[in-house]
Structure 1
Amino acid sequence: MALESLRYQRGSLEVLNQRLLPGQLRYERVGDVERAWGAIRDMEVRGAPAIALVGCLSLAVELAGGSGPTEDLGALEEFVGQRLGVLLGARPTAVNMAREAQRLRAFVRTRVETPGVTPQQLRESIIEYIEGLLEKDRGDNRSIGEHGARHILQGVPGGGPVTLLTHCNTGTLATAGYGTALAVVVGADRVAANGDVANKIGTFQLAVVARHLRVPFYVAAPSSSCDPSLPGGHLIPIEERPKAELTHLGGVLLADPEVDVWNPAFDVTPHELITGGIITEWGVFAPQELRQALEERGGN
């Protein structure tokens, strides 16, 4: 049975603590936004879509438990905005949380302006909206896998088996085996308008090697990870992790205490190196085609 990154039912959220893998398989309760912030910041949960889901679902858990104002629409709207603001500070490189927060705020504003809506109805509609994000993500993942597999197999002579090298969480495309063809598939935390991609550190090196060896290089990312507001990858904010992650092991210092450390969590792969394409829930696009695809489907 495939591992689940999170388990949710109304009023209850658990996340798989990925920091403990593979030694331990442990799901931990996320009962409020602060706990979600910690799980996201400490990389217990990883992957841009999962970050957005855990953040929004933690808000749904709070609302289902009765948190926030109960008698005033404006006060409840303000509460939701404040809680989303907390989540936005956890992981700045992944754009999905910011995008979903913007959309949720717009949804709440529309509901507040709807005549006759009560605070309880507003609360319920917000919970239902967030739960819809979970179902949409599952559908998007299936579509990404189907589009990616079809596109990759088209390039295999005789339809033979395929070997995939994956980097970061690439969802249903994360398969491996021995075969006659090879492709590299990576995830993405943010895709700029020109197709430049920010992903876990090491992605750029893989792209360079793949280009040198003439191996197709794909990026698997939902449209929610695409940020057409940034013209190029040089504008993507890159998170830096604590230096202790490189200087310590099991709490033991392994380096000079005064050593300088630069520990970026992501690197940026130029669009020229994405030779296979960018796989979204809509299909597979060359980097130069992505901006138009986003505009045709509502500007994302």
Structure 2
Amino acid sequence: MRTIDWVDGAIELIDQTLLPDELVMLRITTVDALIEAIQRLAVRGAPALGVAGAFGVALADGDRKAIARLREARPTAVNLAWGVDQAAAHLEEGRQAVLARAERLRDEDIAACVAMGGRGADLIEGDSLRVMTICNTGALAAVERGTALGVIQTLHERGRLAEVLALETRPLLQGARLTAWELDRMGAPYRLIADSAGPSLLARGGIDAVLIGADRIAANGDTANKVGSYSLALGAERAGVPFFVVAPETTIDLSTPSGEHIEIEDRAEEEIVSVRGVRLAPAGTRALNPAFDVTPHDLITAIVTDRRVFRP
């Protein structure tokens, strides 16, 4: 099953806001509907956003203002803008050329995830591995298989995985709702933990690696990912646990020199003061809700892409 695809003249994608309770496919026929789906996180994850952006240009049918709005729908993830630009470069050739490029991006993403899974699994030493991850980096974040969770899936398929410790990932619980759902479907052993438990569990020992994805990697290796990644990197450094970033080569943004130049998306206060529509904080409570943080390159053991492994 693919997270996102082009079917009979429209984009079809899984509405991730309804998981794990319901598996519903949305049919997107306009750029406005796609932007709305992106901003409410019905579709999310850097690789999936790149494919969504490319398909969205095909929906735009030459409307450059709509394409510009789509490109800016989420500022931190570089793949969205990249996917839009890749498809938009073929606008003068007509809609079929745009769609052909978008479909090639989809196929390239699938191949990239397979490559990252194998390369990452080869990099991590040992058997009966216990690994930790945050947010969702599986097939739901890509088209198929995924990035960091794709490595975990490959380890499981090779019989080398003992357990995954998945952070619940506040405030929108992508770990609890999405990663746990994917691990359950693949039959991998896992337990869910509170975000704040991650660093202390690393300090207690018994964790072989931390694997995260990325929404943007700066030229010097600084990496923006789901908020909470930085604290995991600090805990891993203190505990001597390898910390791996897994992302397609397209997530590396050479025009961004370092992490301090990455724009961090601030999301709605409501996501903090309530959970799935149930208010937790007193009425009138204000909140600060950065969706991402930046892990400095010196805390990263290695970055795994579909083309290479490098140590920043």
TM-score, normalization by structure 1: 0.78
Equivalents in 2 of 1:181, 1:238: separation in Å?
A: 29
- Aligned-pair CA distance for 1:54: 1.6
Look up the match of 2:143: none
Look up the match of 2:19: 21
Equivalents in 2 of 1:244, 1:98: separation in Å?
A: 27
- Aligned-pair CA distance for 1:266: 0.4
The alignment of Structure 1 onto Structure 2 pairs a total of residues equal to 253
Equivalents in 1 of 2:152, 2:18: separation in Å?
A: 20
Matching of residue 161 in structure 1 with residue 128 in structure 2: yes
**Are the equivalent residues in 1 in contact too, given 2:72–2:81 (CA < 8 A)?**
no
Equivalents in 2 of 1:162, 1:254: separation in Å?
A: 37
SS at match of 2:265: coil
Q: Alpha carbons of 1:133 and 1:250: their partners in 2 closer, same or farther (altered >3 Å)?
A: closer
Equivalents in 2 of 1:230, 1:142: separation in Å?
A: 27
CA-based RMSD of the aligned residues comes to: 2.0
Look up the match of 2:68: 85
Aligned pairs for 1:174-189 (under 5 A) are 174-175=152-153, 177-178=161-162, 182-189=208-215
Aligned pairs for 1:96-107 (under 5 A) are 96-107=79-90
**Are the equivalent residues in 2 in contact too, given 1:166–1:174 (CA < 8 A)?**
no
**Are the equivalent residues in 2 in contact too, given 1:143–1:281 (CA < 8 A)?**
yes
SS at match of 2:41: coil
Q: Based on CA coordinates, which of the two structures has the bigger radius of gyration?
A: 1
- Aligned-pair CA distance for 1:88: 1.7
**Are the equivalent residues in 1 in contact too, given 2:303–2:311 (CA < 8 A)?**
yes
Measured against aligned partners, the alpha-carbon deviations of 1:93-151 in whole angstroms (never above 9, x if no partner) come to: 00011122233333435x4xxxxxxxxxx221111111111111111111111111111
Aligned pairs for 1:102-251 (under 5 A) are 102-108=85-91, 111=93, 122-152=94-124, 155-156=125-126, 160-168=127-135, 169-170=137-138, 171=146, 172-175=150-153, 177-178=161-162, 182-251=208-277
**Are the equivalent residues in 1 in contact too, given 2:77–2:215 (CA < 8 A)?**
yes
Matching of residue 55 in structure 1 with residue 33 in structure 2: no
SS at match of 1:184: strand
- Aligned-pair CA distance for 1:218: 0.4
Q: Alpha carbons of 1:249 and 1:164: their partners in 2 closer, same or farther (altered >3 Å)?
A: closer
**Are the equivalent residues in 1 in contact too, given 2:213–2:247 (CA < 8 A)?**
yes
**Are the equivalent residues in 1 in contact too, given 2:224–2:262 (CA < 8 A)?**
yes
Equivalents in 2 of 1:144, 1:250: separation in Å?
A: 33
Matched letter for residue 108 of structure 2:
K
Look up the match of 1:284: 309
Which ranges of structure 2 fall in alignment gaps of 5 or more residues? Answer: 139-145, 164-205
**Are the equivalent residues in 2 in contact too, given 1:247–1:255 (CA < 8 A)?**
yes
Equivalents in 2 of 1:107, 1:250: separation in Å?
A: 40
Equivalents in 1 of 2:152, 2:27: separation in Å?
A: 27
Identity of counterpart residues, as a percentage?
37
Equivalents in 2 of 1:232, 1:105: separation in Å?
A: 27
Equivalents in 2 of 1:138, 1:26: separation in Å?
A: 22
Look up the match of 1:71: none
**Are the equivalent residues in 1 in contact too, given 2:56–2:67 (CA < 8 A)?**
no
Look up the match of 2:34: 36
Which ranges of structure 1 fall in alignment gaps of 5 or more residues? Answer: 69-75, 112-121, 288-300
**Are the equivalent residues in 1 in contact too, given 2:222–2:297 (CA < 8 A)?**
yes
SS at match of 1:15: strand
- Aligned-pair CA distance for 1:250: 4.5
Matched letter for residue 269 of structure 1:
T
Q: Alpha carbons of 1:125 and 1:55: their partners in 2 closer, same or farther (altered >3 Å)?
A: same
Matched letter for residue 162 of structure 1:
L
Measured against aligned partners, the alpha-carbon deviations of 1:57-76 in whole angstroms (never above 9, x if no partner) come to: 1333x36xxxx4xxxxxxx4
